[in-house]
Each structure stands twice: as C-alpha cells, then as structure tokens.
Copies of this chain bind each other. A is one copy, B any other.
Amino acid sequence: MNSEIALSLSDVSFSHEKGKALNETTLDFRQGKTTVILGPNGAGKSILLKLCHGLITPTSGNIIMHEGYSRSAMVFPKPIFLRRTVLQNMIYVLDTLDMDEPAKIAVAQQALKKFAMEKFADSPARLLSSGEKQRLSLIRALLLEPDILYLDEPTANLDPHATRLLENMVTEGHENKTTIIMATHDLMQAKRIAERIIYIENGSIMEISNTVDFFNNPKTIQAKNFVEGKLY
C-alpha cells in the first residue's frame, strides 16, 4: 500500500560559487516512510536535506511541499543553540505554537525527560557535551511535531544507548505518520531503520532502492564499493 506523497523534487539542482553541489534531481518522498541518504563526505547529502527543508533555495527546479505535510523540522550535525538555558531553548521553539507559559514549560520538561536530559534544564545549552547537544537538538525538533523530520547525522555524537533510543523513536515514527529523511555514515544504522536508501555521490543520485536490495544487490559499482568500504 503506497501512502500519499508528502514532498516532491522535480529537476532540482543547486550551485554555489565553487561549482555544482547537486545535479538535476527528481524525487518523491511518501508520508510516514523512512528514507536514508548514504554517500561519501561532500556527496551532497546535507545540501539535499537543506533544499528539502527550505533552508536554501534551488538554483533551478521546483520543490513541492504537498498540502498537510508542510510542518518540518531538522536536526543539524552542528546544532545551534541560543545563549540561554536548555529549558529556555526548548520554550523558545514552543513560542511559535499557541500555548500558555505553564503548558510550554510542562511540555518542554516532559520532552527533556524522554531523552534523560531533565537534569540539564537549567544548564546553559551551549556548554553541554557534544552528545548532550545532539540529544537536545533532537528533542527540539520533536517539539514541533513535524510532518517531515530531517535528520543530518543525528547519532554521530551519541553513545550506544542514546543511538538506540533515537532509532526506536524513528521506527515508532511510522505510527505517527512522520516522514523521516536521514543522512548517516553508519551503515548498520541504515540497515536497521531505513525502508528506502538513496545513494548519492558527487551531487548525483546513483541509486534509489529498498534497503534489503541496496545492501544485498547494489545496482551500481559505486554503491557496491561504498557498502564494502572500498571507496576511491
């Protein structure tokens, strides 16, 4: 059963001063599905996520957010926080929603608890450890209850336990109908959670397959080498 299309890219490309970072790309993302983007450093994964999330505008082509799926949030590899406490950073995000102050605090605290971060509520967010920051960034994204959640290397700095927590959350995401688009370098992780893999290299999509196919029978030589760790 195919779900509705939440986001479409048609002929999207992106260039910066130094050249082209993404070649003409046409793609659909279906509601509630988990897509993992794989590829070497500098392949264009982050650029692709940023384009979808609307952080950067394509040099050419169109990105269509389909009705009912316009709420999106993103976890960055280098999360940015305001010079405030952890709790205040959470509340800041909630200010966009229609809630009274005590409700916001309650929601924020509950969210912190879920990722074992409640004891940091009053710590300055910018002084947390790398893993704590990444957790916080995830919590912040979830507060927005996004239809589409972009995850850019979200477990790069997480310990094994927190990584599992995040992966569980992603798997549960199906029930919440959240569309998840994630870039990672952890092949095992991709295997565990992805329903679909997009393999990208040098700004071009080389392959789009379901996860089992991708790992068992990569269609391209590049993907094959990458999976076997034989890049270059």
User: Chain A: residues with CB nearer than 8 A to chain B?
Assistant: 16, 18, 39-42, 45-46, 77-78, 116, 123, 127-132, 135, 152-153, 156-164, 185, 187, 226, 229-232
Contacts and interface: CB of A to CB of B under 8 A. Distances in A.
A131 to B, nearest CB: 3
B231 A41 contact: no
A199 to B, nearest CB: 12
A185 B160 contact: yes
Contacts of A18: 123
Copies in the complex: 2
Contacts of A131: 40-42, 185
Given A129-B46, A130-B153, A159 B40 contact: yes
Contacts of A163: 185
Nearest to A18: B123
A70 B77 CA distance: 33
A2 B191 CA distance: 42
Contacts of A187: 160
Most buried by B among A16, A131, A187: A131
Contact of A156 (B132, B135, B156): B156
B41 A159 contact: yes
